[in-house]
Structure 1
C-alpha cells in the first residue's frame, strides 16, 4: 500500500497535528508502507526523501502557521510517479484542497482527519460572527472523504451533531519510553531554580485560544502562603508570549519551546500540570504529563476530559473559571498522598495508550477504504 499525505503543517512545526503526522509517517516507513508527504516549506532546514515542500508565507497574527502555494503540475507529476493507493488530507487549507482535487481528478480513494476546532477559536479573536461560515466550509470540505478520522469521542459527538458522517476514531498514543518518571530531578530542578518549591507547569502554544488568561488569573490570585511555595514553568511560544511575560508574577519562568528529553524533564519535576484550554480536540501534552506521572488540572472540555479521570489522575475544572482551578490546586498542595496516587494512576493509564496499536488500526482502516472501491462523493 502507498499513502500520500497532504497537510499544511508538518515536522519540525511544533503543534499536535505536525507531531502526529510525523509519528504516522515514521510508522509507515518502519512497516514498509510507502508514503509521500506534501507540506509547506518552512524556514527550517529539515528535509526528507518522502517530503515534498512548497513555497509558503506565515499567516498574519499566527506566524507559526503557514499558507502554502502548491505547484499543481509538480503535485500531479509526483502523484503519477508515486501512484498512491490512498490520499489522506489532514488540514482544510491550500495543500489540503490540493489533495482533495487530485483525489477526484485521478480517482484515488480519499480520507481526511479532523484535528482542530476552529469554530471554538473564534470567540478568542472576537470573530464569533464567522461561526456559521466556518461550519459551512468544513461541511463542504469534509464531504468527499470516505472516512473522517477524529481524535476523541468528544469531537466525534460534536461532528455527528453537525451532520458529519463516515466518522471513525483515530486516537493518539504517547511514547512512554521518552515520557517516563525516572529523570534526574535534582539537576532539572537546579536548571529552573526551583529549590524545594512545588512546580506548576503549562506546556503548549501561547495563544488566545489556550485561555491563558485563566491561568494567569490563577497564578495571581492564589493565597499568599501558597504563592510562596510555588514556582510556575510556562513551556511554549506564540503570539501572546510578550504580553504574558509583561503581566507574569515573579515566580513564573518562560522557557520557550522545548521538545524531547528537555520537555520530558520539565514534566518529571512538575507536581501538577495545569492546562486551562477548552478548545482541544485531543490534548497531546496532557497525555505526556500523565505518562510522566504528573497529575493534571485541566478544563472539563474537549478531548482532554476523556484523558483525565476526575479525582483519580487529576481534576477536571469548569472552563474559564479561575476559582475552580484554584480549588483543585490548593487541594493537591494540601494532600501530598493524593498527588502521589494520581501520579501512579496517570502513568498506568498512559502505558495503555500505545502508538503502535493506534497506528496499526489506522492502517487497517486505510486498507478497508482502498478495498471498498467506493466513489468519491463530490456532489
Structure 2
C-alpha cells in the first residue's frame, strides 16, 4: 500500500486533527508503508522544516476553523507529485481545498479513496449566525464523501449522528483516539508549578484547555465557575489555557464580573501536562466535539472531568464514574457538578483513579493496527468503489 494523505491541517499546527494525522503518518512510516502528505503551510511563526514526504502549499486560515487552512493549490504541482509517488490509496482528511484535490485525483485516476471525518462544522454555524447554511453544508458533505469506500469517524456518537443523516453504515468505521501516557501523566510538583505562576498552592484549581471560540462555550465555563467560586469555594481559581477569537471578550467578562481567572494563552507540551496534573478539576463545556482529545489528556493526568453531555466526549466519559456529563449550555448544572466534586474529595479521588485507568488502556498502536488493516482492505478493493462519473 502507498498512501497519499490530503489534509488542510497538519503538524506543526497544534490541534487534535493535526496531531492525530501526524501520529498516523509516523506509525505508517514505522511500519514501512510509503506516505506522501499534501498539506498547507502552517500559520506564521510555526517552523515545519522541509520533510521530503510532505508537499506544502501557501495558505490562508478558514474563518470558521482557523486550524484548517485554505491552501492555494497548484494542480500541476500536485499531479506531478502524485505521478511520481504512484499511490494505491488516497486519504482525504478535511473537506476543503486540499481535500477537494484528493477527491479529484482519486476520481480522475480511479484510485481507491477513503476519508476521515473529524469536525461537526454544522454545529459551529449557529455560533456565527450562519445556521441558514446548514442544509447547504450537508449537501456538500454528502457530495464530498460520496465516493469514499470507508469513512473513519472518531467516536460512536459521531457515527450515530452520520447514520441519522442517511450515511451508509457499511462505509462508517470508528477510528478512536489513543493516549501517549509517557507525555500525559499525573506526576507534577504541584506547589512549585502553581507558585511559579503566582498562584497559591492552597487554591482549588479548575482548568479549561482549548480554543477560545464561541462554539466551545467558554463563556459557560466562566459563568459556572463564577457561581461555584461565589457560593461554594471562595479559594477557587480558574485557569484557561488556549487562545482564539473570543479571548478578548472572555477577559472582559472575567474582569467585569470580578472572576479570578488566570489566562495562560496558548499552552502545549510539558507545560500543558503540568497544568492538567496540578489542577483539581477539568472543566470543558464544549458541545461540538467529535472526540475531545483534551478530555482524554486530562483523564490521563488523573484529573476529574466535568464536560457537556453531547458529542464525542460522551463516549469517553462515563457519567458518575470517570467524570460528570452536564446539559450543554447550562451553567448551573456545571456549577453543581463542580460543587459536588469539591465537597466530596473521596469521589474526586475515585473518579480520577478510574479515569486514569481508562486512559491507560487507549493504546495508539492498537488503534492504528486496526486502521491499517481497514486501509489495506480498501486499497485491495480497487477502482470499483469510485461511483461518480467523470
TM bin (shorter chain)? over 0.9
Q: CA deviation at 1:250?
A: 4.5
What SS does the aligned partner of 1:143 have? coil
1:210-289 mapped onto 2 (5 Å cutoff):
210-222=216-228, 224=230, 226-248=232-254, 249-289=258-298
Per the alignment, do residues 232 and 194 of structure 1 end up closer, same or farther by CA in structure 2, a change over 3 Å counting? farther
Superposed, 1:337-352 pairs within 5 Å as 337-352=346-361
SS state at 1:195 partner: coil
Structure 1 residue 167 corresponds to structure 2 residue 172? yes
Asked if the contact 2:58–2:71 (Cα under 8 Å) also holds between the matched residues in 1, the reply is yes
Q: CA deviation at 1:289?
A: 0.5
Deviation at 1:93, TM superposition (A): 0.3
Structure 1 residue aligned with 2:39? 39
CA contact (8 A) 1:8 1:67 kept: yes
Deviation at 1:58, TM superposition (A): 2.5
Q: Offset at 1:298?
A: 0.3
Rate the CA distance shift 1:350–1:21 in 2: closer, same or farther, 3 A. same
Among candidates 117, 127, 130, match of residue 130 of structure 2 = 127
SS of the residue 1:112 aligns to: strand
Distance 1:361 1:194 in 2: 46
What's the counterpart of residue 305 of structure 1?
Answer: 314
**Secondary structure in 2 matching 1:79:** helix
Q: How far, CA to CA, are the matches of 2:172 and 2:67 in structure 1?
A: 29
Deviations 1:328-364 (A, max 9, x none): 0000110011111111000000011110000111100
Per-residue deviation, 1:62:
5.2
User: 3-state SS of the aligned residue for 1:124?
Assistant: helix
> Which range moved further: 357-366 or 183-192?
183-192
What SS does structure 2 have at the residue aligned with 1:222? helix
1:64/1:21 CA distance change after superposition, 3 Å: closer
Gaps of 5+ in 1: none
Partner of 2:106: 103
Residues 226-278 of structure 1 deviation map (CA, whole Å, 9 limit, x = unaligned): 34221111011111111111111442111111111111110000111000000
Q: Aligned runs of 1:178-193 on 2, under 5 Å?
A: 178-192=183-197, 193=199
Normalization by structure 1: what TM-score?
A: 0.97
Report if aligned partners of 2:206, 2:236 keep a CA contact under 8 Å in 1: yes
- TM-score under structure 2 length normalisation: 0.94
Query: Matches of 1:60 and 1:123 in 2, distance apart?
Result: 14
**Closer/same/farther in 2, CA of residues 90 and 161 from structure 1, 3 Å limit:** same
Q: Distance in 2 between matches of 1:335 and 1:52?
A: 53
Please give the per-residue CA displacement for 1:198-220, whole angstroms capped at 9, x wherever unaligned. 11001010001001121121122
Question: Counterparts of 1:309-328 in structure 2 under 5 Å?
Answer: 309-328=318-337
- In structure 2, the residue matched to 1:2 is 2
- Which is worse superposed, 95-104 or 242-251? 242-251
Q: Are residues 1:204 and 2:210 paired?
A: yes
Cα drift, residue 45 of structure 1: 2.3
Match of 1:360 among 339, 364, 369: 369
Q: 2: CA distance between counterparts of 1:87 and 1:102?
A: 9
8 Å CA contact 1:289, 1:296 repeated in 2: yes
Q: Does 1:72 align with 2:79?
A: no
Preserved contact between residue 228 and residue 338 of structure 2 (Cα < 8 Å): no
